[in-house]
Structure 1
Amino acid sequence: MSSRAVPGRPGMTTTAETLVARLDGDFTSHTVDADGTAIHCVSGGTGPPVLLVHGFPQDWYEWRHVMPRLARGHTVHAVDLRGVGGSDAPADGYDAVRLGGDLAELVETLGIGPVHVVGHDIGGWAAYALTRLRPDLVSSALILEVLFPGLDVPDSPVPGVPLWHGEFHQVPHLPETLVAGREEAYFRYFLDIGTAVPGVVTDDEIAHYASAYGEPARLHAAFEMYRAIPKNARFFRDGCDPVDVPLLLAGGEQCFGPLMPALARHLTAAHGWSSVTDVVVPGGRHYLPEELPDAVAELIERHAQSVRK
């Protein structure tokens, strides 16, 4: 495994190694070959393995406040999805199944399975796919703040947050054209409305995220993840085989949290999951690992501990 800097425009962000050095604990930055695609992750700590998967518009650094606490009792691996940050950005392969396949390759290459996988936002789709397709590699799954296209969930409340960007991001080429060079302003919009405390994500941190998506191939990759939604919807809808991995769905009180109970019931009743529980995080919105890291770390620790009992 080799160290690798997070690519970006000069002066906009620091390397992964510099960011890792700021973490409280002994963490290292490295890449792993996942069937020909280099996947970057940051690892540290000792104990049962936890795999952290970021959402949009973030990279591994989303977990910076959660990782040191988890590392006291777990070996933590925070990954960059393909196309983001320090990972390779191939032209295709951004559907949930392929992203989950990258995670499976990473787990097998590192020899760390089974893992407690935690996915936020789009990272939740990848974590779900990993768990459904390779349950042998997963001890437990915790999915934060994401819904699953293609699932017709009975009695589900209507989301109380704007979701316009999902359709916009699926338009071919246009989002790249409009957002290129304006990543910081665009990402700031989402991170501001998605957190309950103004400024919880700083300008420097947003500049880092902008750099993680700043190359044309990486910005394209971000929108390709949304263009894969129709394919993902078929995967989520058709997946009904039994899965005997404990799944916890968590959402912020001010975002998707109120929808989690109905989704949990539906996955148990219609999609083969043997154990699905749900949690609403009080006071939280969408970017829970950044605005309420202690609450998220406690959820992860508690869920992982419940599996070991």
Structure 2
Amino acid sequence: MTDTLRRGYAPSPFGQLHYVECGAGEPVLLLHQTPRSWTEYLDVLPLVGTAHRAIAMDTLGFGASAKPTGPHSIELFADAAGALVDALGLERFHLVGHHTGGVIAVELAARYQDRVASVLLSATPFIDDEKRRTAAERKPVDHVVPKADGSHLLELWNRRRGFYEEGQEAALNRFMVDALTVLDRVEEGHEAVRRYGMDQRLPDITARTLAVCAPGDHYSLPGLAKFAAALGCETRVLSGGHVPVPEQLPEEFAKVVLEWTARG
């Protein structure tokens, strides 16, 4: 199915932004987690593309998109995503964000109220005063110190291995490629999430919103109730999976996207 995918670069004030798209129709912009790239949606894109113009971008600083020299922030990521939206001429679009991508989707939905048709927040962390206050106490997620014997590669692999089942090593390989591409700044996306003033932006979201999470993703699962309380939105627990659920259950993930976007 990957032969239906179309790659492109869009100009922006930050440099070129890389994206991959599939299909035609009302656009759906898919935003990935840290430190991934569009390949998180490799198997989801063709399925969503059966009914939409499905677009998965590489977040600024990740994948094949431009690498800024300044500090990362959710606001900066959203600036770049907004630049892509404008460059592609997306007048009205749906948003899908997974983990960090969901946090970026919150900021975009707060900014582009009239242009966002719907929002799907997948395994999105809920950032409030408590999360920001304790950010400095949290252990690094993906940071490893490069070593001459290459043992840091196994360390990085093992940090994520528990999220993947046996037989899902191809997806874990894609994670490794993405993480190694930004190894010198691999942790900054997580740090940007923990600093973000999400709770102050949620009241500005006017689009109908659905929050979903895999049952094994204990990092983000508690956030469903918090999003429901803050937004009055619907929530759903998927049938299985962990942190990389778009790769583990692409058919179910795409079905949820298609059902939610069609409800408008």
**TM bucket by the smaller chain?**
0.7 to 0.9
Q: Does 1:124 align with 2:87?
A: no
* Equivalent-residue separation in structure 1 for 2:20 and 2:194 (angstroms): 31
CA shift digits 1:10-41 (9 cap, x unpaired):
xxxxxxxxxxxx7052x221111222332110
Tell me the equivalent position of 1:32.
10
* Deviation sequence 1:36-72 (CA, Å, 0-9, x none): 3321100121111111111134210111111111111
User: What is the letter of the counterpart of residue 245 of structure 1?
Assistant: A
Contact kept in structure 1, 2:30 and 2:55, CA below 8 Å: yes
- Pairwise CA RMSD: 2.8
Secondary structure of 1:143 counterpart: strand
Instruction: Give the aligned partner of residue 183 of structure 2.
Output: 219
Matched, 1:281 2:244: no
TM-score (norm 1): 0.74
The match for 1:266 is: 229
C-alpha distance in 2 between matches for 1:214 and 1:135:
36
The match for 2:199 among 230, 234, 237 is: 237
Q: Distance in 1 between matches of 2:9 and 2:249?
A: 28
2:139 alignment counterpart? 168
Q: How far has the Cα of 1:166 moved from its partner?
A: 8.4
Q: Which runs of 5+ in 1 are unaligned?
A: 1-21, 154-163, 269-274
SS of the residue aligned with 1:86?
A: coil
- Distance of 2:89 and 2:129 partners within structure 1: 33
Q: How high is the TM-score relative to the length of structure 2?
A: 0.86
Aligned residue in 2 for 1:246: 208
Among the aligned pairs, what percent are the same residue?
A: 21
Listed one character per residue, the Cα deviations across residues 176-200 of structure 1 (whole Å, up to 9, x for unaligned) are: 53589566534433543223x3231
1:221 partner amino acid: R
Q: Which residue of 2 aligns with 1:10?
A: none
Kept in 2: contact 1:94–1:224 (CA 8 A): yes
Query: Of the candidates 28, 42, 46, which is equivalent to residue 64 of structure 1?
Result: 42
Q: Alpha-carbon deviations, 1:81-107, whole Å to 9, x = none?
A: 111111111122421111112111111
**Counterpart-to-counterpart distance in 2, 1:206 and 1:255:** 16
Q: Does 1:300 align with 2:262?
A: no
Q: Secondary structure at the match of 1:168?
A: coil
Structure 2: unaligned runs, 5 residues or longer: none
For 1:134 and 1:283, the matched residues in 2 are separated by 32
Which residue pairs with 2:2 in the alignment?
23
Letter in 2 for 1:177: V
Residue 91 (structure 1) aligned with residue 55 (structure 2): no
Compared CA separation, residues 226 and 258, structure 1 to 2 (3 A): closer
Matched to 2:154, the amino acid is A
State the SS of the aligned residue for 1:296.
Answer: helix
Does the Cα contact within 8 Å between 1:249 and 1:279 map onto a contact in 2?
A: yes
For residues 251 and 109 of structure 1, do their structure 2 counterparts lie closer, same or farther at Cα, with a shift above 3 Å needed?
Answer: same
Please tell me whether the aligned partners of residues 228 and 235 of structure 2 are also in contact (alpha carbons under 8 angstroms).
Answer: no
- Following TM superposition, the consecutive aligned residue runs of length 4 or more in structure 1 with deviations greater than 6 angstroms are none
Paired residue for 2:86, among 108, 113, 116? 108
Distance 1:46 1:32, change over 3 A: same
Partner residue, 1:189 = 158
In 2, Cα distance between equivalents of 1:179 and 1:150:
36
